[in-house]
Amino acid sequence: MTVSTGDKMPEGTLVEMTADGPAPRSTADLFNGRKVVLFSVPGAFTPTCSAKHLPGFVEHADELKAKGVDEVVCLAVNDAFVMGAWGKSQGADGKVTLLADGNADYTKALGLEMDATGFGMGTRGKRFAMIVEDGVLKELNIEGPGEFRVSSAEHVLTQL
């Protein structure tokens, strides 16, 4: 079942690449007492994700933070090494936190997984963006297949 606005965010653990290697990051620490914009991409280094989705949030990170956002987070069903390399290649350091959901456990807990086996990618996350305040889902924007509109940084800015 897909999460809905007003729902408390599910508990889970994601992985962040740090200078010391992969490190767990609990969703309780991520969301509780904070305002977070979390967006999901089907995969690091994929065309729309690399050309538009992540770059838009990198470009607008300061504007999002000026509207009270404590952290901007990119989630993908990739490993932490891939997410770390992608973040570096996109200039995301200090602007967007990249978190790995390698087995899609958290993405499945959100009910936002998709079957990309037809593309040789296995289970992935749908393209979406959400605003979470103190652990409660306030806005959820899920893209249709092949679309990129409502999960963009520009659209999220209109919701803050």
List residues with catalytic annotation: 49
Q: Is 79 helix (H, G, I), strand (E, B) or coil?
A: coil
Strand-strand pairing, 128-133 and 35-40? antiparallel
What's the Rg (C-alpha) of the chain?
14
Reduced DSSP (H G I as helix, E B as strand, rest coil) percent helix, strand, coil of the chain, to 5: 30, 30, 40
Give whole-number Cα distances, 145 to 23, 118, 131, 142, 149, in Å. Answer: 32, 13, 21, 10, 11
Could you give the CA distance from residue 8 to residue 79 in angstroms, rounded to a whole number? 26
